[in-house]
């Protein structure tokens, strides 16, 4: 309970102003496509040169928490996930916005972020020593199996066809191989200078999600009668809270997945949202409504990616190991004030450490308040006529992909990926599995090669990858995930066969699988 005595520090006038500013600024930065939480925090570091250590960290902590949540805004309203953490949010969130339920989507997104985030920070406060050991338990072999566990959900993620899901996943895995391989020193598929550094994940996200819908919107043209103004439904906070309480299951799956996976250095943040989304759908009774505007999808994804924020700092604060790129930037922010994180951080600098953590706790609350406040205004974005919207999204996509690393090459990659994705979507492939492949490829590959190198110096690969309790648990999870997908797809097929029988008997046409939601919107 030591942290309680340092709460006063957060409410000192300067500190609280910084906290307010950091939260609001973070929400705006997070909502800007191309500005990931890592970049937002890095941009703020020079400002902390002038501040005291505690104040500087308050600013950085507030910005970190709110940029993660802010990414949901562009994911929901524009279908451009601000960071890998927000991919799953876009799946159902953007559908909701298109149906005029943008306010509702933003409300539950911020509420779920707040709940997940607060639980995550509480874990950081109470369980840090225990969690630190857990973070270290994952070696290359375990991370390899974690990535494979992620691969097993590729087929079932947001795709009407299992095979097409797997194929887009493979495309993503291939894209992830492009560039210079840091471990073996090989240059792979570098057929253009822009590809030397590989395909940046943020660039890919912008292209794959934003460009196809820009083309879709432009294709509709400016014909008046085809443009249907979306009426944005009013949504009271109370009914959003009720909605959240109805989805406690999604909320708990998201929070648990986020906080457990967030701990694992190098993996956590990127896949927590997608894994939570997939789990929630698998355990849901109305599985078919996911991807069509089910608030449970938004709740699971957002609670997971904010629950991850607190635990992801455990390795940094106790072992001085940054577990994520954002944590690495925060480490820089600590060092600049002469503070070395480590097991004695809380003994040597209790005021700095606890004020920082407390500010993240208060920051979560402020973020929810601001988020809810702007939600009903922000949701009106859906009312913008498609031609104007298409232009705006295109500008944001160009600006965002350039700003990732100030490179025109990234803009070309973004456009090329976007155009290809538009064509792929026409033949029934979807974006989420492709992106998941792109994220998991490097994790699986790097850890497999490193693991093999270590294994060769030890007892051989079989012993290294297959033995040990953690390996066995992870392998069991992989196997059960595959089995689950197999059985559920068979059950689905039987159900569909039954359904099409009755439809055929009734004389109705069988739905054309290519003529799905795109037709319904125009």
Partner 1 sequence: MNKTLLSLALVAATSVMGTSVVSADDFPERPISAMVSYGAGGATDFQARIVTMMAGNEDYLGQPMVIINKPGAGGRVGWNWFASEADNDGYTMGAYNIPHFIAQSIEGGVKYSAESFEPIANWGADPAVVVVGADSPYNSIEELIDFAKENPGKVTVSGAGLYVGHHIAALQIQKATGTKLAYIPTKGGGAAAMKAVIAGDVVSGINNLSDAYRAREAGNIKILAVADVARSEEFLPDVPTMMEAGYEVDNASVNFRGLMVPAGTPAEVIDMLAERVQAMFGNARVAKQMAAGGSPMKIMSRAEVQEMWAARQETLTDLLAGLK
d(CA 384, CA 307): 33
CB of 190 to partner 1, least distance (A): 9
Report the residue number, 348 or 500, with the smaller CB distance to partner 1: 348
The footprint of partner 1 (CB under 8 A) covers 38-39, 41-43, 45-46, 49, 136-140, 179-180, 182-185, 187, 193, 196-198, 200, 265-266, 315, 319-322, 325, 328-329, 331-332, 335-338, 340-344, 405-407, 442, 446, 450, 453-454, 456-458
| CA 5 remoteness from chain centre | 34
Q: Least distance from C-beta 132 to partner 1, angstroms? A: 10
> Closest CB to partner 1 among 48 and 65?
48
With respect to partner 1, which residue has the nearer C-beta, 137 or 423? Answer: 137
Chain centre distance of CA 367: 18
Pair type for strands 179-180 and 187-188: antiparallel
Closer residue to partner 1 in complex, CB, 47/174: 47
Classify residue 345 as exposed, middle or buried by CB count within 10 Å of its CB (0-12, 13-18, 19+).
buried
Nearer to partner 1, 40 or 157 (CB): 40
Shortest gap between Cβ of 183 and partner 1 (angstroms)? 5
CB of 31 to partner 1, least distance (A): 19
- Say how many CA atoms lie within 13 Å of 381 toward its Cβ: 23
Alpha-carbon distance of 198 to 436, in angstroms, equals 16
Q: Which is nearer to partner 1, 289 or 450 (CB)?
A: 450
**Is the Cβ of residue 462 or residue 497 nearer to partner 1 in the bound state?**
462
Report how far apart the first and last C-alpha atoms of the chain are (Å, whole number): 57
How far is C-alpha 394 from the chain's CA centre? 22
| Tokens found for residue 279 | 């789990």
Q: How far is the CB of 15 from partner 1 (least distance, A)?
A: 21
**CB closer to partner 1 out of 90 and 206:** 206
Exposed/middle/buried for 149, CB within 10 Å: 0-12, 13-18, 19+? Answer: buried
16 C-beta neighbours (distance < 10 Å), count: 16
Query: Least distance in Å: CB of 72 to partner 1?
Result: 23
Taking the complex as a whole, how short is the minimal distance between the CB of residue 260 and partner 1, in angstroms?
A: 18
Closest CA to 356 of 5, 2, 6: 6
Calculate the CA dihedral of residues 392, 394, 397, 400 and round it to 10 degrees: -50
Provide CB contacts within 8 A for 477, sequence distance 6+: 149
In angstroms, the CA 176 to CA 316 distance is 27
Structure tokens belonging to residue 289:
């409504």
Which two three-digit tokens encode residue 29? 């930065």
Q: How many CA atoms lie within 13 A of 114 on its CB side?
A: 20
Instruction: State the minimum distance, in angstroms, from the CB of residue 396 to partner 1.
Output: 21
Q: Which is nearer to partner 1, 43 or 243 (CB)?
A: 43
Residue 454 C-beta: closest distance to partner 1, Å: 5
Nearest to 487 by CA among 156, 158, 159: 156
In angstroms, the Cα distances linking 402 to 61, 179, 207, 397 are: 26, 18, 12, 8
Half-sphere exposure of residue 384: CA atoms within 13 angstroms, side-chain side: 19
In the structure encoding, which two tokens stand for residue 331, read together?
């480490």
Q: Which residues contact 159 (CB under 8 A, 6 or more apart)?
A: 165, 168, 429, 430, 432, 433
Whether residue 136 contacts residue 95, with contact meaning beta carbons closer than 8 Å, is answered with: no
CB of 197 to partner 1, least distance (A): 2
Closer residue to partner 1, CB minimum distance, 136 or 170: 136
Q: How far is the CB of 340 from partner 1 (least distance, A)?
A: 5
List, as one string, the DSSP characters of 463-492: HHHH-SHHHHHHHHHHHHHHHHHHHHHHHH
Considering beta carbons, is residue 416 or 455 the nearer one to partner 1? 455
- For partner 1, the closer of residues 180 and 484 by Cβ is 180
Residues sharing a CB contact under 8 Å with residue 420, sequence separation 6 or more, in sequence order: none
Question: CB of residue 211 vs partner 1: minimum separation in angstroms?
Answer: 22
Residue with Cβ nearer partner 1 (139 or 428):
139
- CB of residue 348 to partner 1, shortest distance in Å: 10
């Amino acid at each position: 309970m030591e942290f309680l005595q340092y709460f006063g520090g957060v409410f000192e006038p300067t500190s609280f102003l910084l906290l307010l500013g950091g939260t609001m600024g973070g929400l705006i930065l997070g909502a800007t496509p191309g500005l990931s939480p890592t970049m937002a925090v890095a941009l703020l570091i020079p400002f902390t040169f002038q501040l005291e250590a505690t104040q500087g960290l308050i600013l950085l902590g507030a910005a970190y928490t709110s940029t993660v949540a802010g990414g949901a805004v562009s994911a929901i309203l524009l279908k451009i996930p601000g960071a890998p953490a927000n991919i799953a949010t876009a799946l159902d969130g953007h559908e909701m916005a298109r149906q005029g339920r943008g306010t509702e989507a933003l409300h539950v997104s911020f509420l779920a972020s707040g709940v997940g985030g607060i639980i995550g920070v509480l874990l950081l406060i109470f369980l840090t020593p225990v969690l630190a050991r857990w973070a270290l338990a994952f070696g290359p072999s375990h991370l390899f199996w974690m990535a494979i566990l992620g691969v097993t959900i590729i087929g079932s993620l947001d795709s009407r066809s299992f095979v097409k899901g797997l194929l887009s996943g493979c495309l993503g895995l291939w894209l992830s191989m492009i560039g210079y391989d840091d471990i073996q020193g090989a240059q792979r598929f570098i057929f253009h200078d822009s590809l030397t550094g590989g395909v940046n994940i943020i660039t890919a996200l912008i292209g794959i999600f934003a460009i196809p819908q820009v083309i879709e919107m432009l294709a509709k043209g400016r014909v008046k009668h085809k443009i249907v103004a979306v009426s944005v439904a009013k949504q009271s906070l109370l009914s959003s809270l009720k909605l959240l309480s109805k989805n406690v299951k999604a909320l708990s799956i998201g929070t648990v997945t986020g906080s457990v996976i967030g701990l694992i250095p190098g993996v956590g943040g990127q896949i927590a949202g997608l894994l939570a989304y997939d789990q929630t759908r698998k355990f849901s009774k109305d599985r078919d409504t996911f991807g069509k505007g089910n608030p449970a999808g938004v709740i699971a994804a957002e609670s997971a990616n904010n629950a991850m924020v607190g635990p992801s700092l455990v390795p940094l604060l106790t072992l001085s190991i940054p577990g994520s790129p954002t944590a690495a930037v925060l480490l820089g922010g600590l060092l600049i004030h002469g503070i070395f994180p480590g097991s004695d951080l809380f003994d040597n600098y209790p005021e700095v450490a606890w004020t920082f953590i407390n500010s993240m706790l208060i920051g979560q609350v402020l973020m929810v308040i601001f988020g809810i406040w702007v939600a009903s205004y922000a949701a009106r974005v859906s009312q913008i006529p498609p031609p104007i919207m298409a232009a705006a999204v295109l500008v944001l996509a160009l600006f965002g992909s350039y700003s990732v690393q100030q490179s025109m090459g990234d803009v070309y990659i973004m456009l090329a990926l976007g155009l290809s994705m538009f064509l792929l979507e026409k033949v029934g492939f979807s974006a989420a599995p492709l992106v998941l492949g792109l994220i998991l490829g490097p994790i699986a590959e790097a850890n497999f090669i490193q693991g093999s190198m270590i294994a060769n110096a030890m007892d051989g690969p079989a012993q290294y990858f297959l033995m040990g309790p953690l390996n066995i648990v992870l392998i069991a999870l992989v196997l059960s995930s595959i089995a689950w997908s197999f059985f559920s797809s068979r059950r689905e097929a039987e159900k569909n066969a039954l359904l099409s029988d009755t439809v055929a008997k009734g004389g109705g046409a069988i739905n054309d699988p290519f003529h799905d939601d795109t037709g319904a919107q125009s």
